[in-house]
């Protein structure tokens, strides 16, 4: 998901996406622990996505408080 796509989302949608992505990371970590994870690079991608989501969420919250 690109940053431009995230910026078009509402704050509530971004928060929901963060929660969903964190749940997916947890599931993948459990699969990794049992040895059945097929795409280990997916963990890295999802962690980067959460960071990107949080960054844009923070930007939106700061912009809203200044107006």
* Structural domains in the chain, sorted by start: 3-66 (1.10.287.310)
Q: How many helices (H) and strands (E) does the chain have?
A: 3, 0
pLDDT at residue 65, as a whole number: 57
What distance in Å separates the CA atoms of residue 57 and residue 21, rounded to the nearest whole number?
A: 15
The per-residue pLDDT for 67 is 42
Which pLDDT score is estimated for 8? 94
CA distances from 49 to 34, 65, 66, 67 (A): 24, 24, 26, 28
- As a whole number of angstroms, the distance between CA 12 and CA 10 comes to 5
| pLDDT tens readout for residues 21-67 | 999 999 999 999 999 999 999 999 999 999 999 999 999 999 875 44
d(CA 36, CA 19): 23
């Amino acid at each position: 998901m690109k940053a431009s796509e995230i910026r078009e989302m509402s704050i509530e949608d971004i928060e929901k996406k963060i929660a969903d992505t964190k749940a997916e990371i947890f599931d993948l970590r459990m699969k990794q622990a049992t040895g059945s994870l097929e795409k280990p690079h997916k963990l890295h991608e999802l962690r980067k996505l959460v960071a990107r989501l949080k960054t844009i969420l923070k930007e939106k919250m700061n912009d809203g408080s200044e107006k």
